[in-house]
Amino acid sequence: MQDTHVIQSGYLSAAIKAEGAELCSLCDATGEEMLWQALPVWPRHAPVLFPIVGRLKDDALRHNGRSYRLTQHGFARDHRFAWLNRTVSSCRLVLHDDTATRAVYPFAFRLEVAFALEDDALVNTFTIINTGRETLPASVGAHPGFRWPLQDGIDKAAHVLEFDQPEPAPIRRLAGGLLGPPQATPISGSMLALDPALFEADAIILDQVASSSVRFTAPGAEAIEVSWEGFRELGIWMRPGGDFLCIEPWYGTHSPADFDGEFRDKPGLMLIPPHDKRVLTMRIRLC
């Protein structure tokens, strides 16, 4: 039985389910749904990526001479979180390490995921706490999928992403599910003209992103602005055949194709000291 909490303000309503602490609906004041509704081509809405973003080589996490099988994007999206609190306009959920998580990720942690409606924005906060005695190596990512086209009748190719800064740095693509070499960016200045053909080679990964926000927009449609604090990379993705676009703030990414070492040495991880924490925030605004 699905356990879902709905939060509301004068501008927005959102639904969050305990399974995966996943945002599963985001509607404007008229009730128009902006989030992808987990149809079969991609049966998710906005999964939480933890304790890895992307894939490890051979799905193997190596730690202190042992190998653990940890699959793409980690396990948080498939675990049931516990509710810490629920109000009319906010909620907070938590996931702790347990026997099942330690079998694939041998570290102590506490992951809290919070949602709050503030005026015309949904604020999604991720707090990773090291509850153990050794350094906690971890990544975390948001993965919201928005409807594309933003409004029925608008051509997908009429949509653009407008970054708040020019993005001249090379991007990354995936090679066999792992991080490939840098290549020329398809972003012109601060604008990416969208077309499904861009994603035939899988995600566009900005591992040197200069911006802290991006607007998903098209003529005649309500735009979606995604902004972030604490995250360092950005993934942009859609699956061929799907009417959605994922705008994904990340801390960490797939293993480089040539990396097969100790997990704590994987490039891009957070290394959180014992009893310390990291707080990262994503804000979604309809504008």
**pLDDT per residue as tens digits for the range 59-107:** 999 999 999 999 999 999 999 999 999 999 999 999 999 999 999 999 9
Confirm if 127 and 111 have CB atoms less than 8 A apart.
yes
Residue 203 dihedral angles phi and psi, to the nearest 5°? -70, 155
Confirm if 140 and 279 have CB atoms less than 8 A apart.
no
- Computed on alpha carbons and rounded to an integer, the radius of gyration of the chain in Å comes to 18
Which tokens is 180 given? 């490939």
If you average pLDDT over residues 1-23, what whole number do you get?
93
Which tokens is 85 given? 């609190």
Is the alpha carbon torsion for 99, 101, 106, 109 positive or negative? negative
Q: pTM of the predicted model, to two decimals?
A: 0.96
Confirm if 150 and 142 have CB atoms less than 8 A apart.
no
Q: Which domains does the chain have, with CATH numbers?
A: 4-286 (2.70.98.10)
**pLDDT per residue as tens digits for the range 219-264:** 999 999 999 999 999 999 999 999 999 999 999 999 999 898 999 9
Task: Tell me the residue ranges of DSSP E strands in 54-203.
Answer: 60-63, 66-69, 82-86, 90-96, 110-118, 121-129, 136-138, 140-142, 145-147, 160-163, 171-175, 178-183, 191-193
Separation between Cα atoms, residue 204 and residue 18, nearest integer Å: 29
